[in-house]
Amino acid sequence: KAGVTQTPRYLIKTRGQQVTLSCSPISGHRSVSWYQQTPGQGLQFLFEYFSETQRNKGNFPGRFSGRQFSNSRSEMNVSTLELGDSALYLCASSSGGVSEGYTFGSGTRLTVV
């Protein structure tokens, strides 16, 4: 079956702009989690959605937001981009049960200039 699909793969934005990233989970998976990966900070949890509801949230400013649609596809949005937002943004899906492992997408590489 198809894996987790993230679009776009690469993105260059200017400081102050906003950006929307998309994630299509594995068919049948209802949970989508987003992580930010930077060389210095590793994988940092942003938020998790399950059945269109945000179930968990990490310690990121309100500029980072997300949503999930009825077909389980998810988007995350970053407003007023800062240089420090440059990172690989990873989306992971699972069936949503406790102890279920994630399947990650290939990520979106965001560069803010």
Tell me how far apart the alpha carbons of residues 93 and 63 are, in angstroms, rounded to a whole number. Answer: 23
C-alpha–C-alpha distance, residues 11 and 81, integer Å: 12
Kindly state the smallest distance separating residue 44's Cβ from another protein, in Å: 5
Residues of this chain, 43-102, that bind another protein according to CB under 8 A? 43-45, 48, 50, 55-56, 58-59, 90, 92, 96, 98-99, 101-102
Interface map 1-40 toward another protein (x if CB under 8 A): ---x--------------------------x-x-x-----
Q: What's the Cα-to-Cα distance from 39 to each of 6, 18, 84, 109, rounded to whole Å?
A: 20, 22, 12, 13
Pick from 21, 32, 76, 105 the residue near another protein by CB under 8 A. Answer: 105
Q: Provide, rounded to whole angstroms, the least separation between the CB of residue 107 and another protein.
A: 5
| 6 in Cβ contact with 104 (< 8 Å) | no
DSSP SS3 for 25:
coil
- Helix, strand or coil for residue 4? coil
Q: Where does this chain bind another protein (CB under 8 A)?
A: 4, 31, 33, 35, 41-45, 48, 50, 55-56, 58-59, 90, 92, 96, 98-99, 101-107
